[in-house]
Amino acid sequence: MAEADPHKIYNVHEAKTHFSRLIDRAHAGEEIVLAKAGVPYARLVPVAPATTEPRRPGRFAHLRAAVPSDVWFAPEYGDAELDRFEGKLADL
């Protein structure tokens, strides 16, 4: 393993004290090594930007045509079931 740059190695106590600054530096592209008792232990590196497509409202609108409207607007409940939903007990 190659020798790490001593200016980019921070002990845990120092990293806790300056964590916000270290995250900003990592976000800017710098690689920061965190050490425990002087021994390199972990690395802060920038995260790759998200490659997901931004959300577009209505992009699945074409799927609505495949679903009949009575599925959504006319449930197949009988009167007894509707009474139970409304809290009315029907004679069984």
Residue 32's beta-bridge partner residues?
A: 44
Fold of 6-44: YefM-like fold (3.40.1620)
| Residue 30 CB-density burial (10 A; 0-12 exposed, 13-18 middle, 19+ buried) | middle
Q: What is the pLDDT of residues 17-59, one digit of tens each?
A: 999 999 999 999 999 999 999 899 999 999 888 788 888 888 8
> Is the model's pLDDT at 7 over the cut of 60?
yes
**Quick one: what percent of the chain has pLDDT higher than 70?**
80
Q: How confident is the model at residue 5 (pLDDT cuts 50, 70, 90)?
A: low
Residue 36's beta-bridge partner residues?
A: 39
Largest CA distance in the chain: 83
> Per-domain residue ranges for the chain?
6-44
- Among 1-5, 22-26, 65-69, the range with the most confident prediction by mean pLDDT is 22-26
Question: pTM, whole model, 2 decimals?
Answer: 0.48
> Is the model's pLDDT at 76 over the cut of 80?
no
